[in-house]
Structure 1
Amino acid sequence: MTRRAAGEQLHLNVNILPSGSHPAAWRSKHGVSRGFIDISLYQQIGRIAERGKLDAIFLADTLALPSGVIASGPTWSLDPVVILTSVAAVTEHIGLIGTASATFHNPWTLARTFLSLDHASGGRAGWNMVTTSEPSSAFNFGDQPLPPKAHRYARAAEFVELVKALWNGWADDALVADTASGVFADPARITAPDFHGDYFDVAGPLALPRSPQGQPLLVQAGGSPEGRDLAARHADALFNAQLTLTGAQRYYRDIKNRAREYGRDPGTIAVLPGAEITVGESTADAWARKNELDDLIPRAVRLQNFAARIGIPVQHLSWDEPIPADFRDAVTEHSFGFASAFRDLNDEERLPVGELIRRGGGVHRTLVGSPTDIADSLEEWFEEEGADGFNVNIDVFPEGLERFVDLAVPELQRRGLFRREYAQSTLRQRYANSAVLPV
């Protein structure tokens, strides 16, 4: 039985990278060169995404200025919650997912911040829980180096448990607001976490009732075994990097099985790999757009950036040859998920370096083509149990998102793969049903 026969449809979020997912987006004639600090641009993106009936907008974040990056393009700058709150004010349906680190934030403050966003948006907020892998971030919060991964994930597990306890501290009927009796809230229905763990001690509770969706959506961007485990225990949706269908299928089954082992219904966690999308009226139109963007960055610069990302000296790489076999295990991308996905692609296809770069440089799967081309690829991964939906990366904002909404989304709707109208009022309701694998 196909997913569509069971009435299942794709989830689609749009990942708002500064200016766009293509590194030359800020220089494009279709782009906004200073848009990464322009609140009105984010509001425009939110409106376009809502017009396309997408599930949510998503904001990643960084806690350090990456070395050398700012010279050639923008990076994350404004606080994600500030951006999302501004988008909430001009939209009614689009979900609002922001990133915050469990390694460098305080759980009580984070719980209040995201629950505040959830109330402000009428139940549309989500928290992407990360542990931060960039070593330089640590020195913006003290004089100690980044803790080892095992420490960061142990802290994160405790952090998430505490945040959930704070979000659920008020019973649904704790807020009375009875003007006749003068009873505003029932203290007996408010539970303090009184939490004493290995990393945190919090008396609590929050001074906020539960939100319209109960609590914000929990999202995790995990590729490592530790990240997958955290997601399987707590997440409602999971963002990941996959470059091949076989790799995506392995990951998908692993997450669903881990969720089942924790006693969860595997259908309550949506697996959403990233996809970098350039869509045109035709395949030729889309590739002309992609090539125009690529040409804004000299080949030598693209090769140098690719070498730095995968951790191989540039002198060992040739544009027209595959990565030498003896460097197969040398990939040092900070993110375990990106590195493992890249190895899958490199081992499976052994493409020349230039083609790897053309396909996005091993970050996310790059799709370039007509609405039919894009829909065919997304549908294949959906039907073949490689994804419950996608975290879409758009080449250039805002024009590239308009193309996706006006060209690709109608084709997905025509196939019955995506909604035509919003049927649920909260983000959590929208994510309530995802795929379930057989035992």
Structure 2
Amino acid sequence: MSQPKQVRLAINLLATGRHNASWKTLPDPETLSTDIDVFIEIAKTAERGLIDGIFLADNHGGLNEEAYKRPFRALDPSVLLAALATHTRHIGLVSTIPALYGNPATVARQIASLDHVSKGRAAWNIITSQNDHTLRIFGLDEALPQEAKYDRAEEFVSIVTQLWDSLPAAAVVADKERTVYIDRDKLRPIDFQGEHFRAAGTLGVTAGYGGRRPVLLQAGASQLSKQFGTKWADALFTSHWTKPQAQQFYGDVKQLAAEKWHRDPAKLLVVPGVYPVLGSTEAEAIQRKADLDDQLDLEHIKGSLAVTLDVDASILDLSQPLPYDKIPLDNPENKTEIIRRAKLVEDARARNLTAKQVLLQHITGGHRIIVGTPEQVADDLLDWIDTDACDGFNFNIDRYTDGLEHLVDWLVPELQQRGRFRKEYESTTFRGNLGIDDVDSH
């Protein structure tokens, strides 16, 4: 009899938690964005719960609107994760770096170095977002059209991965008799001449710890994004609020991986974000969320909802349904944004949500919210896993660190008791723990 499918779990690392008001309930909130001790505590707690990886999103050095209302993402992901690597032994460390700006050789060295420092636990989350604050901080005037964006990203990732292969571990011979440290004949120097990037030579660090490439992750929902992600990524981060949406995406990317790129679809993991709020009883979980929601600045996040829907905030009545006839759902220049908007509208219609309910379930969490006991949350998660909606979940913790402790001390044991989550790490590498250690380079 086959073993039940094991659940993959990661956490989204934010100093205070994903809830917009979580920082208001924590001591010394003015230092939380840069307090290394807080991040170390989070990482160690997550590893105690045998979580697969820590996912660190990033604003690329520029302040966005969120930063004016809550603690922001301040520290460079790779620097922070390198520090966390010295306090952990098993958990994966996922650094978010864009594949549109900067230099591919710098990224290749950065992630390969993190992989060595962490002894095989580094991952690159490849992103292609073009937010206004990102464009401004990099000195760019306007966003690229969708097709041009992915053409540029294709070249960027091609150079990074070729550079990772350019200095094989076998080339470091350290031959004392011949006074040869690196054997030139075993190198694979690159000579890439693209429309957007050029690179020639050999990277000055081996590909990754143990000669394996670092793990690649990617997020996106458009057709171009799915083609790009299924070619390059080992795991896809997604955002789905309904199971049919998730099942459609899951089927699409697994089929693309097999038919277009000739990959084993079982080795491409699909990991949607989810926002759990746990309590020892359902009433306790509901109250926990309500206590945080009560501290929200609803007018501010109403503005965020208006931006997401591309409507004027003045037409949003929090006590009424969304103004569906005013919400534009076509914009060929920004397909990812339109897909997110369409999903939100579909969910709001299906559940007849008011604008306030949409705020509290979509804008404040960003991902599907599950409120309940460990048993109820486990039931929900396993239903998605067992009906081909995903392979695991990237958790958005409502508030650190007690929300993470609930995950580690309540939900993980429930999944373990059902035989669906590890009781010890299988490996000291991220690839090994994800079950993709035997994947061929792609």
State TM-score, norm by structure 2: 0.92
Q: Does structure 2 retain, via aligned residues, the 8 Å contact 1:126–1:217?
A: yes
**1:265 Cα deviation from its structure 2 partner:** 1.1
Deviation at 1:143, TM superposition (A): 4.7
Q: How far apart, in 2, do the equivalents of 1:300 and 1:372 lie? A: 35
Shift of the 107–129 alpha-carbon distance from structure 1 to 2, 3 Å rule, reads same
Q: SS where residue 70 of structure 1 aligns?
A: helix
Q: Say whether 1:338 aligns with 2:337.
A: no
1:311 is matched by which residue type in structure 2? D
Q: Distance in 1 between matches of 2:308 and 2:327?
A: 14
Distance 1:344 1:6 in 2: 36
Correspondence for 2:416 among 397, 413, 416: 413
When residues 209 and 298 of structure 1 are mapped into structure 2, their CA distance, relative to the original with a 3 A threshold, is: closer
> SS of 2:255's equivalent?
helix
What is the CA deviation profile of residues 126-175 of structure 1, one whole-angstrom value per residue up to 9, with x for unaligned ones?
00011122033222223532222221110101111111111111234112
What residue number does 2:433 align with?
430
Are the aligned partners of 2:235 and 2:268 in contact in 1 as well (CA < 8 Å)? yes
For the 8 Å contact 2:15–2:38, the answer to whether it is kept is no
Q: 1:151 aligns to what?
A: 148
| Matched residue, 2:320 | 321
Q: Which residue of 2 aligns with 1:303?
A: 302
The equivalent residue for 1:69 is 66
Whether 2:373 is the aligned partner of 1:376: answer: no
Distance 1:77 1:24, change over 3 A: same
Cα pair distance change 1:115/1:295, threshold 3 Å: same
SS at match of 1:405: helix
- Say what the alpha-carbon RMSD is for the aligned residues: 2.2
Please tell me the residue identity of whatever aligns with 1:227: S
Q: Are 1:39 and 2:36 matched, yes or no?
A: yes
| 2:354 matched residue in structure 1 | 352
C-alpha change, 1:232 and 1:143, in structure 2 (3 Å) is closer
Question: Are residues 1:60 and 2:35 paired?
Answer: no
Shift in Å, 1:335: 3.6
How many residues in Structure 1 have an aligned counterpart in Structure 2? 431
- Please name the residue that 1:250 is paired with: 248
**Unmatched runs of 5 consecutive residues or more in structure 1:** 435-439
Do the aligned residues in 2 keep the contact of 1:222 with 1:337 (CA within 8 Å)? no
Which residue in the other structure is 1:48 paired with?
45
For 1:100 and 1:398, locate their aligned partners in 2 and report how far apart those are by CA, in whole Å: 26
Moved more, 290-299 or 315-324: 315-324
Quote the Cα distance in structure 1 between the aligned partners of 2:242 and 2:56: 24
Question: Residue 437 of structure 1 aligns with which residue?
Answer: none
How far 1:64 sits from its partner (Å)? 5.8
Shift of 1:178: 4.0
The change in CA–CA distance for 1:9 and 1:23 in structure 2 (over 3 A counts) is same
Correspondence list, 1:190-339, <5 A: 190-212=187-209, 214-260=212-258, 261-330=260-329, 335-339=337-341
- Residues 8/404 of structure 1: CA separation in 2 closer, same or farther (3 Å cut): same
Deviation at 1:29, TM superposition (A): 3.9
CA drift of 1:328 comes to 4.2
1:317 counterpart letter in structure 2? L
Q: How far off its partner does 1:8 sit?
A: 2.2
Alignment of 1:387-406 (within 5 A): 387-406=390-409
- State TM-score, norm by structure 1: 0.92
CA distance in 2, matches of 1:432, 1:161: 24
| Letter of the 1:45 counterpart | I
Percent identity between matched residues is 35
- Matches of 1:312 and 1:163 in 2, distance apart? 40
Rounded Cα–Cα distance in structure 2 between residues aligned with 1:235 and 1:31: 38
**C-alpha separation in 2, matches of 1:196 and 1:299:** 51
Q: Greater shift after overlay, 394-403 or 119-128?
A: 394-403
Secondary structure at 2:9 match in 1: strand
- Please say if residues 310 and 331 of structure 1, whose CA atoms lie closer than 8 Å, have aligned partners that are also in contact: no
Structure 2 residue aligned with 1:185: 182
Cα distance in 2 for partners of 1:48, 1:331 equals 43
Determine the C-alpha separation between the residues in 2 that align with 1:145 and 1:96. 32
Any gaps of 5 or more consecutive residues in structure 2?
A: 438-442
For residue 128 of structure 1, the aligned residue among 125, 141, 144 is 125
Kindly provide the CA deviation profile for residues 201-231 of structure 1, in whole angstroms up to 9, marking residues without a partner as x. 1112101123225111000011122211110
Alignment partners' CA distance in 2, 1:341 and 1:201: 38
| Partner secondary structure for residue 126 of structure 1 | strand
| Residue type at the aligned position of 1:153 | Y
* Distance in 2 between residues matched to 1:31 and 1:413, nearest whole Å: 35
| Map of 1:83 onto structure 2 | 80
The partner residue of 1:9 within 6, 29, 38 is 6
Q: Hey, what does 2:440 align to over in structure 1?
A: none
Cα deviation, residue 181, structure 1: 5.2
Contact 1:53–1:94 (CA under 8 A) maintained in structure 2: yes
- SS of equivalent to 1:113: helix
| Cα distance in 2 between the residues matched to 1:143 and 1:298 | 32
